Amino acid sequence: MTVKAVITDWGGVLTSPLPDAIATWLAADRIDADRYRTVMRAWVKQAYDGGGVNPIHGLEDGTLDPAEFERLLAAELLTVEGEPVAAAGLIARMFGAFSPVEPMYEALRAARAAGTRTALLSNSWGNEYPRDLFADLFDAVVISCEVGMRKPDERIFRHALGLLELEPAECVFIDDIEHNIKAAEALGIRGILHTAPESTIAELRALNVLP
């Protein structure tokens, strides 16, 4: 079936890689990196493996206030000197090194100009989005905390499909997290696991989304 829409994640797809931003933040705030990774590894595993509600789950679906998430995470962290980490503004500092990946933006603009619909489907971490770009880039915008659902819940994918008024097989979904790709594919959406702009753009070309 012809691809009629591209649905894409934001962080790590339209931005520079998340590990790079986190590394910059850890160094700037002099945070004990091993301690951070231990905490986040457990939280992420629980959030994606169905282990119940946890801070990431709550942050993404909007049931946990970002300021409370910052407090909870800061309480688990220490600086390399063994000092407490400031909670206020923690999320902004974490994602402060994000930068746009222009080749991906260009690919979406080209796809949309050629008649393919586009949608953003992002799990929010309370971070700021470049919303000034959205009107000319997306036909639909779905941000998890605003709709009370999060990837990989199938409901958020169905919500995006409903906004686009398309069937799963008519859409392709780009994300840098394999759990989310598998969830989309289980509904019949074509998945592209994003590892680099070049490979993702090549896959879009192979699907005739791009010339």
pLDDT given at position 28: 97
Contact 134, 140 (CB under 8 A): no
In DSSP terms, 173 is beta-bridged to 7, 191
pLDDT given at position 53: 66
Q: Which string of DSSP letters, residue by residue, matches 143-163? A: EHHHHT--TT-HHHHHHHHHH
- Confidence (pTM): 0.94
pLDDT given at position 66: 96
pLDDT given at position 20: 95
pLDDT given at position 54: 85
User: In 10 A of CB 153, how many CB atoms?
Assistant: 17
Contact 91, 60 (CB under 8 A): no
pLDDT given at position 50: 64
pLDDT given at position 45: 84
Which helix (H) or strand (E) segment is 196 a member of?
Answer: none
Which helix (H) or strand (E) segment is 166 a member of?
Answer: none
Residue given tokens 């991906």 in the structure block: 104
**Using one digit for the tens of pLDDT, what is the confidence trace for 111-167?**
999 999 999 999 999 989 999 989 899 999 999 999 999 999 999 999 999 999 999
CA 17 → CA 11, 40, 87, 176, distances in Å? 7, 17, 23, 9
Q: Where are the domains of the chain?
A: 5-16+99-206, 18-94
How far is Cα 127 from Cα 91, in angstroms, rounded to an integer?
Answer: 6
Which helix (H) or strand (E) segment is 172 a member of?
Answer: strand 171-175
Strand order in the sheet with 117-122: 140-143, 117-122, 5-8, 171-175, 190-193
CATH topology of domain 5-16+99-206: Rossmann fold (3.40.50)
Which parts of the chain sit beneath pLDDT 70?
50-53
pLDDT given at position 135: 85
Contact 60, 125 (CB under 8 A): yes
